[in-house]
Structure 1
């Protein structure tokens, strides 16, 4: 995608502090990190979000996420770490290219709590949604899925 900022980084048309690269993935620091060591991991192939990823995209991306997260843990020794990915504007996806945030965390950091207060859901609603999801997951194979 010519106008995608992450594709521009992959093509080396835009600068980035790259910390790890494979044939299929790239890990780099965002321009406005949430914490020290905050790292983005992307597939080099343009994929809009994890909802549109193919099975072949997931393994190399996952392996790079593991490698970089372990490096962050070893080098920075954070007290915790968030792994975040979003799909769609309602989920705060700001760049339409699949990306995983690795965010090292420390007590009292600027990120703060990421989950809203807990609100109970009725057992009937939980069961209805669970039944529909179990049926769908049992009937469809990821490899057969056509995202559009």
Structure 2
């Protein structure tokens, strides 16, 4: 049976430096960290991205990420933390098992801003997009 690398880590069938785990989630250091303390938090069950995760499992995953993030921040005395979960190839997801990146940040670190500069949206575009999203969300009720 084929299984993804993160499933193997979650099942403890692949090596990883695990910093925390419970029955359903595990947190470990990635092979190529972006910063000191960079940690991934994953559910042990396989889901492709955060939009595939059932509500109860997503709640558990976010609670785990919060717990681990607080621990990282306290241990490393970071000034902030990026909490990132990419969904889909266009969003730079490369491992298709949902994961949350916790990246400790310090004032003046080498990252700088993570968002590119942007122009404000025109008022009519903002209103049109808002209406489209609101309509879609109403249809999901």
Smaller-chain TM-score bracket: over 0.9
Kept in 1, the 8 Å contact 2:10–2:43? The answer is no
Measure, in 2, the Cα distance between the counterparts of 1:19 and 1:138.
40
What is the Cα-based RMSD across aligned positions, in Å?
1.3
Deviations along 1:17-40, one digit per CA (max 9) or x if unpaired, are: 111111111111111111111110
Kept in 1, the 8 Å contact 2:38–2:102? The answer is yes
* Aligned 1:91-102 pairs, distance under 5 A: 91-102=91-102
Q: CA deviation at 1:120?
A: 1.9
**What's 1:23 paired with?**
23
Gaps of 5+ in 1: 142-148
Measure, in 1, the Cα distance between the counterparts of 2:97 and 2:59.
17
Kept in 2, the 8 Å contact 1:17–1:29? The answer is yes
Kept in 2, the 8 Å contact 1:35–1:109? The answer is no
Structure 1-normalised TM-score? 0.89
Structure 2-normalised TM-score? 0.94
Q: CA deviation at 1:73?
A: 1.4
**What's 1:145 paired with?**
none
Runs of 4+ in 1 over 3 A off after TM superposition: none
* Aligned 1:37-56 pairs, distance under 5 A: 37-56=37-56
Q: CA deviation at 1:3?
A: 3.5
Gaps of 5+ in 2: none
Kept in 1, the 8 Å contact 2:36–2:104? The answer is yes
* Aligned 1:1-148 pairs, distance under 5 A: 2-141=2-141
